[in-house]
Amino acid sequence: MRWIYVQELLDPQDGSAPVPDSGSDAGKTVRDRRFYDERGLERVIFFSDAVFAIAMTLLALEIRLPLLPDTVSNGELLAALGSIWPRYLSYGISFLAIGTSWIAHQRLFRTVCCYDRRLMLLNIVFLMCISFLPFPTSVIGEYGETAVATILYAASMAVASSMSALLWWYVNGQGRLVEQPLPPAEFRRGALQKLWTPAVFLLSIPLALWSPIAAMFSWMLVGARAFWY
């Protein structure tokens, strides 16, 4: 008896037997696996929005002038502004990359009808990857000519987009958290689509060993694809 109590204390929501899904607003008690309350789901969504927005806006903090004398001529300032062009580029690439990732998140959660604890945790791990991205962006903005900086960036993006794919899979697999489960064919197609972005970033890693610039151009094509369609 005592032992069961401690067990429950440690993992109060565990339950290996499948909980019958009542399908209605049964989210009132703490023990349920799935919650259908609108306000709770909105919090998950708006919290994610805030993390996305902050990560994107913090990218701009990496655009900084090198140290200049207190009074500069027009020519010197212009030269300094020009010398940091890789930072503009990396800002633009990362902003659009996180932005399209946000769009995918928005599209995914449009179909979500309920949530559970695992979704929240997966979402937080995904957001941890997103909010990490300003760091590789800053590295590539400063040392973009090196293969290592390019590979760090590609690897970070590959991990983040894999987490996005995992989130998609968790929500849609077995129609777990959606109102209407996807037909099997669409589910397979969607899964393939979600693997497109990590695949491109993974494939750009060997490319970067040969030419970092070529790898960066391959990412811009991903962005362009997201933009035009």
Pick the closer one to a copy of itself by CB: 23 or 148. Answer: 148
Q: Spell out, one character per residue from 91 to 130, where the chain touches a copy of itself: x when CB under 8 A holds, - when not.
A: xx--xx--xx-xx--xx-xx------x--xx--xx-xx--
* Single-letter amino acid, residue 52: F
* Single-letter amino acid, residue 182: L
SS3 86: helix
The answer to the question of residue 2 lying near a copy of itself (CB under 8 A) is no
The conformation of residue 71, written as its DSSP 8-state character, comes to S
CA 2 remoteness from chain centre: 43
Strand-pairing partners, residue 112, are 178
Strand (E) positions, 80-216? 115-116
For a copy of itself, the binding residues in 25-54 under the rule CB under 8 A are 27-28, 30, 35, 37, 39-40, 42-47, 49-54
The answer to the question of residue 163 lying near a copy of itself (CB under 8 A) is no
Pick the closer one to a copy of itself by CB: 202 or 226. Answer: 226
State the nearest-atom distance from the C-beta of 213 to a copy of itself, in Å: 15
Supply φ then ψ for residue 178, to 5 degrees: -110, 160
The conformation of residue 145, written as its DSSP 8-state character, comes to T
Position among 1, 2, 3, 10 found at the interface with a copy of itself (CB under 8 A): 10
The answer to the question of residue 8 lying near a copy of itself (CB under 8 A) is yes
State the nearest-atom distance from the C-beta of 21 to a copy of itself, in Å: 19
For a copy of itself, the binding residues in 186-225 under the rule CB under 8 A are 189, 192-193, 196, 225
**In this structure, are residues 71 and 62 in contact, taking their beta carbons and an 8 Å threshold?**
no
Question: If 0-12 CB within 10 Å is exposed, 13-18 middle and 19+ buried, where does residue 194 land?
Answer: buried
The answer to the question of residue 18 lying near a copy of itself (CB under 8 A) is no
The answer to the question of residue 170 lying near a copy of itself (CB under 8 A) is no
Give the 3-state secondary structure percentages of the chain, helix then strand then coil, rounded to 5: 75, 5, 25
Contact window for a copy of itself (CB under 8 A) among 133-141, 153-161, 162-170, 213-221: 133-141
> How many residues line the site for a copy of itself (CB under 8 A)?
87
Q: Spell out, one character per residue from 58 to 77, where the chain touches a copy of itself: x when CB under 8 A holds, - when not.
A: xxxx-xxx--x--xxxx--x
The answer to the question of residue 167 lying near a copy of itself (CB under 8 A) is no
Other Cβ atoms closer than 10 A to 75? 8
